[in-house]
Amino acid sequence: MAPPDPAPHKRRPRYAGKNPRRFEDKYKEHNPERYATDVAKVLAAGKTPAGSHRPIMVAEILAALALQPGEIAVDCTLGHGGHARELLARVAPEGVPLRGRLIGFDVDPVEHPKTVARLRAAGYGEDVFTPVRSNFAGLPKVLAELGLAGVDAILADLGVSSMQIDDPARGFTFKADGPLDLRLNPSRPPSAADWLARVTEADLAVALSENADEPKAELLARELTARRTATPFTRTRQLADAVRDILSVPRPARGQEPDDTAVRRVFQALRIAVNDEFGVLDLLLRHLPQALKPGGRVAILTFHSGEDRRVKTAFKTGLRDGIYSAVSAEVTRAGAEELRANPRSSSAKLRWAVRA
């Protein structure tokens, strides 16, 4: 019997233009090791290469955490691993007898194994890097399982990573059409589509107001819950178009982008609700004092007012009650050079505290 004909070779599509629009077409950006020159051009233009994330305020975070070789640190939001590599370089530098340890949390089952493999390839073995596939609400339990009474430093970079935002299949962006998902852990229900299909008008109005400071929360809640009966919201662009229609957002002039401020707020509110981000943050802030050794440091990056208010209040209350010996008096923001190089850093606010 003759062997079957081999599958015909399929040529990869050409890298269309200097800046391909579709996430799937940006294969050069997805392979930085092979196309380093092309990726460097993307970075030089102040953009984040597809499938990656640029760590924000690295120098400021390292200054706040003041890490030393041999210390134990926690990265609550491992993401692409940019902050983690910098933390590991300080607690477990090569050639130093006293090597510390980093425990890295991330709830995302899609990105977490990629980042673990990336850090392992960089030379960080099990002796210095312990990955944990969980959100940081489980911090006390994990530390207890590892036999640790406390750690020297904790970093939490809140919000979502560029890898999640840029991939239409994850449903975090309305710039490209995708499923209305918005889950950091896609295996844990409900999706944003399911949540929006069941939420009451009153609860949706509260979510829009509290999660995103949306001034027209009641109008949007009333209209969105009324419209879902005829046509359930299942796609990102479908929801974005509905918000623009409800608010009568004017059509942009040719070549210009529409004013999508309200659309961004709606997506932010849904994302926070679906992932219970405020509830998880409240648990972290409650557990921090027990998770830190005396003199331990914590740094938290927030990206909108609801997160920052919670962190500010927890740190201020902890200072008053003698739990913390020092807290940041004001937020630290990205400098002008970083803002030019990485516009996504514009909304970031850094606060820190030191355990008494």
pLDDT confidence of 78, banded at 50, 70, 90? Answer: very high
What is residue 50's predicted lDDT score, i.e. its pLDDT? 53
Q: What's residue 92's pLDDT? A: 95
pTM of the entire predicted model: 0.85
Report, as an integer, the average pLDDT of 219-240: 97
So what's the pLDDT on residue 37?
63
pLDDT of residue 83: 96
Distance CA 178, CA 198 (A): 20
Mean pLDDT, rounded, for 130-148:
95
Distances (CA, A) of 190 to 116, 246, 276, 298: 27, 25, 11, 31
Q: CA separation (Å) from 313 to 305, 308, 319? A: 12, 8, 10
- pLDDT number for residue 312: 98
Q: How confident is the model at residue 15 (pLDDT cuts 50, 70, 90)?
A: low
Q: What pLDDT shows up at residue 120? A: 96
- Return the higher-pLDDT residue of 8 and 189: 189
User: What's the pLDDT score for residue 4?
Assistant: 63
Q: Provide the pLDDT confidence category of residue 14 given band limits of 50, 70 and 90.
A: low
Per the prediction, the chain carries an average pLDDT of 89
Q: Backbone dihedral region of 276: left (phi > 0), alpha (psi from -120 to 50 degrees) or beta?
A: left
* Domains delineated in the chain: 58-162+278-355 (3.40.50.150), 172-275 (1.10.150.170)
Banded model confidence at residue 252, pLDDT cuts 50, 70, 90: confident
Residue bearing the bigger pLDDT, 224 or 80: 224
CA distance 83 to 57: 9
Q: How confident is the model at residue 278 (pLDDT cuts 50, 70, 90)?
A: very high
Q: How far apart are CA 49 and CA 40, in angstroms?
A: 9
Say what the pLDDT of residue 162 is: 78
**pLDDT above 90 for 325:** yes
Q: What is the pLDDT of residue 273?
A: 97
Mean pLDDT along residues 178-194: 95
Provide the pLDDT confidence category of residue 353 given band limits of 50, 70 and 90: very high
pLDDT of 28 higher than 60: no
